[in-house]
Amino acid sequence: MSLPPYPTGPEQGGSHGRPPVPPMPTQGPMPTQPAYQQQFGGPQPQPTFSPPPKPARTQGMTWWQYLMVGVAALLAIALPASIVIYYTANARLIADRQSVADYTPSDNISSLVERADLNDVGTFIFYTSHPELNTANEFNTACGIRPEQFLLGCYTGETIHLYDVTEERLDGLREVTAAHEMLHAAFDRLDKKSQDHLGELLEKAYEEHGDDPELADRMDAYAASQPGTRITELHSIVGTEFADLDPELEAYYKRYFNDRSIVVGLHASYMKVFTDLEQQTTDLSNQILALADEIESDTNTFNADQNQLNADIDAFIAKNQAYGYSGDPAGFDADKAALIARDSELDARRTAINDKTTRLGDLQQQLRDLDADAQALNRSIDSTIVPGEGI
């Protein structure tokens, strides 16, 4: 497969705006401090998740890095020192190139790249981590998920694991998670100076979204479960979820995306499924509460009026039995007609209350259906509660 170019610095650009690829060493003097080393420091694997907490990580260099260091030592016998320096300084780059060369993405993985609209650099970095779409059991094992955790992806420092969510209504979730984890791998390859500068820009972007309580809760959860990962998490969250960014940040993320608004749009689309469901639940709950209050008020008034009618009927009967209406048939008929009218009116009110009670039952069933729907959505993205799978 053809290899996309690897980034050599935040400001450099080759043809079509893509960062040029440092050439493999040839005869002649080699740079003692390549641009790649200036902008992308040595490997600093820090397992990161979407969302937290931290999985087990593999320490140190890969077998290929050890091999390259060994080769560099042997070449020092016959080659100029500058070539040895080049190999040593670019061990991560060389290992990344070999990693991508050794990886053949599945059609599903390639589809994620296309739909997230990763550019050549973003694709290259994504493929260095040999991304996998995992079943619940595979994902839980690879990422060390515990039952109380709720994660969609993890980056171990060497591999990206994505939980294979297949719920059709959540279309785009896998692509956003893939881009999120790719950005962890990208952040891993930045030098300390670049990371610190990005940290300032990312904190500013976070402050501009300070009115989002769910985002604040997420960051608090990261702080509790993964101390020290705040900036790399913001780096992934801001890059895949925030629509409007500072121009410098927007320019930075162009290193990895052809059009970042596509992945942001995918995130907004599947999040709307949850927010719409939540809004429907809130609206329905409010209707139920209002109708229940109305039924209670109507019932209390009805009962009071019914008691009063019963008392008035008893009084009418007692008056009639005491010959109170003797010589006054018109009065008898008028009082009797009034009582009958009141009884008919109460009967109509009783029917209305019963209709409202039936309506309340229908709304309560709709709320139960919405709750079941919400639970089904949550189960579809929670690898720890899939029947028959998980740790």
Count the Cβ atoms, other than its own, within 10 Å of residue 72. Answer: 20
Query: What is the pTM assigned to this prediction?
Result: 0.72
Query: Within 13 Å, how many C-alpha atoms sit on residue 270's CB side?
Result: 24
Q: Which residue has the tokens 């019932």?
A: 299
Instruction: Supply the pLDDT for residue 198.
Output: 96
What whole-number distance in Å separates Cα of residue 253 and Cα of residue 259?
9
Instruction: Supply the pLDDT for residue 224.
Output: 79
pLDDT digits (tens, 9 = 90+) for 97-146: 999 999 999 999 999 999 999 999 999 999 999 999 999 999 999 998 87
Count the Cβ atoms, other than its own, within 10 Å of residue 258. Answer: 12
Q: Which two tokens stand for residue 212?
A: 């989002």
Instruction: Supply the pLDDT for residue 148.
Output: 65
Instruction: Supply the pLDDT for residue 343.
Output: 97
- Please answer whether residues 190 and 39 qualify as being in contact, where contact means their C-beta atoms are separated by less than 8 angstroms: yes
Tell me what the pLDDT averaged over the chain comes to.
81
What whole-number distance in Å separates Cα of residue 19 and Cα of residue 6?
7
Distance of CA 87 to the CA centre of its chain: 40
Q: Which residue has the tokens 């579809």?
A: 380
Q: Which two tokens stand for residue 266?
A: 């995918």
Instruction: Supply the pLDDT for residue 16.
Output: 36
Count the Cβ atoms, other than its own, within 10 Å of residue 79. Answer: 16
Instruction: Supply the pLDDT for residue 238.
Output: 97
Instruction: Supply the pLDDT for residue 219.
Output: 87
Instruction: Supply the pLDDT for residue 77.
Output: 45
What whole-number distance in Å separates Cα of residue 273 and Cα of residue 364?
21
Instruction: Supply the pLDDT for residue 21.
Output: 35
Given a cut of 70, the residues of the chain with pLDDT beneath it are 1-89, 147-149, 386-391
Instruction: Supply the pLDDT for residue 85.
Output: 62
User: Pairing state of beta strands 48-50 and 153-155?
Assistant: antiparallel
